[in-house]
Structure 1
Amino acid sequence: MAESILKSAKINRNVGQVLKSYLRVLKLSKKPSREEFLMISKVAGAGILVIGFVGFLIYVLLTEVPKWV
């Protein structure tokens, strides 16, 4: 019984520490400006397109090229 109470107290302390660290991060963060948001969106979109193109090339190489050989 005493062990479960100690575990419960330890978990509560850990949860409190985690919440404090989350609050610290939220206090330091700020809303990005419009320019920052647009730049991040462009870079993320370009990355998605590049990864999609690479996936398409792999698909074509693995499905169409063996038909020619």
Structure 2
Amino acid sequence: MDVPLELSAYTRVLRLASTPSWEEFSQISKIAGAGILLVGLLGFVIFLVMEGVTSVI
């Protein structure tokens, strides 16, 4: 395990990284929020279906 080589690779990546613009950040936030809502909605629908199934039985 060559620690100096790994550290140089990490620093190279950090130098290439840049802060996103407000537009990029806003778009990423909207997409992530929509994904969270979609997963929550899917879980709620599954919950409703399971409640319906158990009430019939």
Q: Output the TM-score relative to the length of structure 2.
A: 0.84
**Tell me, what secondary structure is at the counterpart of 2:45?**
helix
Name the CA distance, whole Å, in 1 between partners of 2:46 and 2:6: 43
Specify the alignment match of 1:51 in structure 2.
39
Structure 1 unaligned spans of 5+ = 1-10
Of the three residues 26, 33, 36, the one matched with 2:24 is 36
CA RMSD of aligned residues (A): 1.4
Q: 1:60 to 1:20 in 2, by over 3 A?
A: same
> Cα distance, 1:63 vs. partner?
2.1
Specify the alignment match of 1:17 in structure 2.
5
How many pairs were matched up? 57
Name the CA distance, whole Å, in 1 between partners of 2:50 and 2:5: 50
Structure 2 unaligned spans of 5+ = none
Larger Rg: 1
Name the CA distance, whole Å, in 1 between partners of 2:44 and 2:25: 28
Q: Which amino acid aligns with 1:38?
A: S
Q: Output the TM-score relative to the length of structure 1.
A: 0.71
Identical-pair percentage: 46
Name the CA distance, whole Å, in 1 between partners of 2:34 and 2:25: 14
